[in-house]
Amino acid sequence: PPRACRSARRATGPMARNEEKAQAMLNRFVVAKRDANRVDMTKRPYLASECEDVSHCEVYRGQILKELSKKVSLIQNEGLDEHRVRDLNDAINKLIREKGHWERQIKKLGGADHFRTAPRLFEDDAEEVVPGRGYRYFGAAKKLPGVRELFRKRAPEREKRTRFEMLKGIDADYYGYRDDDDGVLEELERAAEEGSLQQAREDWEARKAARLAAGEPADEEESDGEGDGEDARRAERFQEALPDREAIERAILEKRKREMLAMLGGGDAGGAPKHKEEGSINLVPKSW
């Protein structure tokens, strides 16, 4: 009957609640004990070298990647304040360096080589002022005052040509070997020649008029001829004073005879030999 069921429930109700409370307390104790024995992974060690477990290093690296992804997404907002953008960019660079420390520790402990196998995250959006120095600018940080000018592309510098490239364009025209082919230079030279001749003719007529006024010969060739005649007479006198070839040969022969007589001790070595042609001998220098 219904009354009997209600009385049975009253008899078993308090006992069931006590058992449930005891079971709940046991569950909480087991959970607390498990949590106490579990390593706290929420706070990363300050130095990656302090962690000696590869699995823990992988967990910390994953945490860094999550933080990096979140901060890189935030820095894309160009509406943020300048100081906020600078702080985010500094934090991103710090996390990238920390990620590298953990990846080196993982490799040192025998884990995966993330430097070689892992994809290059966040590098497509980053730019470096000096490549290889490490500090990068992300998102809105590239448009900050003072940073925008650093990434402005400079005008390409003109490349200096090599000696080979310069010599390739040199031909006969460079040295002027074919300047006369167009006929322009001939016309210029002809006009210059006519002007030079006319000037020379006027100068000659002016000198001629000045000589006539001074009472000198009108023709320059006449005065030049007088000088030339004097030079010719001087040359003839000098030619007459020179001994001929036969006189030179006789003088040499006589000198040798005197030397032989002096060596043999015979004859008058100091005496001068007599010749029929005294005039020719006198033309020879006395030292002979």
Least confident of 28-32, 35-39, 91-95, 269-273: 269-273
pLDDT of residue 276: 45
Average of pLDDT values for 104-116? Answer: 88
| Size of the chain, expressed as the number of residues it contains | 288
pLDDT of residue 161: 85
First to last CA, the chain: 185
Could you tell me which residue, 64 or 124, shows the higher pLDDT? 64
pLDDT of residue 14: 53
Which two tokens mark 72?
């890189």
Average of pLDDT values for 38-65? Answer: 85
